[in-house]
Amino acid sequence: MSLFDSHRLGDLTLPNRVVMAPMTRVRAAADGLATPSMATYYAQRATAGLIVSEGVQPSLIGQSNPGTPGLHTAEQTAAWRPVTAAVHANGGRIFAQIMHGGRVSHPDTTGIRPVGPSAVPATGDVFTPTGPQPAPVPRALETAEVPEHARSYADAARRALDAGFDGVELHGANGYLISQFLSSNANLRTDRYGGSVTNRIRFAVEAAAATVEAVGSARTGIRLSPGGTFWGVAESDIPELYAALLSELARLDVAYVHLEATIAEDVLLELRRAWPGTLIVNPTVPMGPKQAGRADADHWLALGADLISFGRAFIANPDLVERLRLGAPIAPADEATFYQGGDAGYLTYSAYQHTN
C-alpha cells in the first residue's frame, strides 16, 4: 500500500492517503467569522486526500483561543461557505474539526468563566486578547448540564454540513473538553461521568453518538491522543480506557479514528487491532521536536494505518502531496507566524520550483 493510493472514507473517495491535520492559525475575523484568506489557505492545500480544518468552537463558552472561528451562529455558518466552496473548486475534501476548549480558555477571551469536568485548572498559560495568562479555575459542570455540552458538537456538525463541509472531526485530544473527561486528574467527578473507565468515556461517547445522529456516521470522525499530557492532563488505565472507547465508537460506526503518536508504538498497535474501521495516524507528537515526513508515513502504513496526517509540514508546503511523491525538499515553516494573524506566513508559501 502506498501513500498515493486512493482510500474510501464513508461516501468519499480520497485520491491519496495524505491528511492535512487540524492546526490552529488564529486568522478568523471578529465574532469567529471565517475570511477570504482562510478560503485561499485551505484551497491551496486541496491536493490532500482530506483536509481537517483548524479547531472550530461549537459555542461561545467552548472557545479556547482568541482569533479562532466558530460554528454556532448563522453568520459563522455563512462565512464558512466560501471556504468549503474554494476547497471543492480545487478538487478537495474538507472536514471541520469541532473543538470545545473546556477549561483551556479565559474570561478575557469569551466573557464567560470556562467550564470543565471539575474545578481543576489546566497547567500553564492560556492565550487571551492581551497575551498569555495563567489558566483560570474552571467551573465544574453540573450533572444536568453535561449533555448539552455533548450535544453542542452535534449542533456544530449540522451547521458544518450546512456550510458545505464534507464531515466533522470531534476534537477528543490534546487536553480539551473531551480529553478532560477522559482524564483521571482533570476529571475528579463522582457522578456517572467520572471515576471508572466506563464513566470517563461517557462524555466522548455521548458527543459522538449525538453527532452521528445529527449528520450520520460516515461524516463523523474523532481525534484522540492516548496518554498525552497536553495542558496538564493525565490518564490512568490507558489501554483499557481507549479499548473501551474504541469499542463504543465501533458500535457507532464512525468514519474514522485519528490517533496521535502520544504513547508507545506497541500501545498504538494494540489500538489499531482494536479498531475495525479507518485509522488515521499522526506519526509525531503535535508541536514536538520532530516533524513528520515520508519515512514516518511509510512506517505507519506498513503497521496498518490507513491514512497519515501531517501538520506543520503543510504550513510551508501547500503542495506537500507532490513534494512527498517526488521526494522533493520539505520547506521549513516560520514559527513566528504560526499565530500572529495576517497573510504573512499563511498565504506566502509557494509550491516547489522544479529545475532542469
Which residues are catalytic, by number? Answer: 176
Tell me, what DSSP letter sits at residue 15? S
CA–CA separation, 3 vs 304, rounded Å?
12
CA–CA separation, 15 vs 3, rounded Å?
10
161, 135 contact by CB (below 8 A): no
Q: Give the amino acid at 174.
A: N
The grid coordinates of residue 326 equal 517526488
Q: Which of 58, 232, 67, 305 is nearest to 160 (CA)?
A: 58
The grid coordinates of residue 189 equal 467527578
- Residue 147: how many CB atoms within 10 A of its CB? 15
CA–CA separation, 285 vs 2, rounded Å?
23
CA–CA separation, 124 vs 147, rounded Å?
28
Burial of 341 (0-12, 13-18, 19+ CB in 10 A): middle
CA–CA separation, 59 vs 55, rounded Å?
12
CA–CA separation, 118 vs 115, rounded Å?
8
CA–CA separation, 70 vs 80, rounded Å?
9
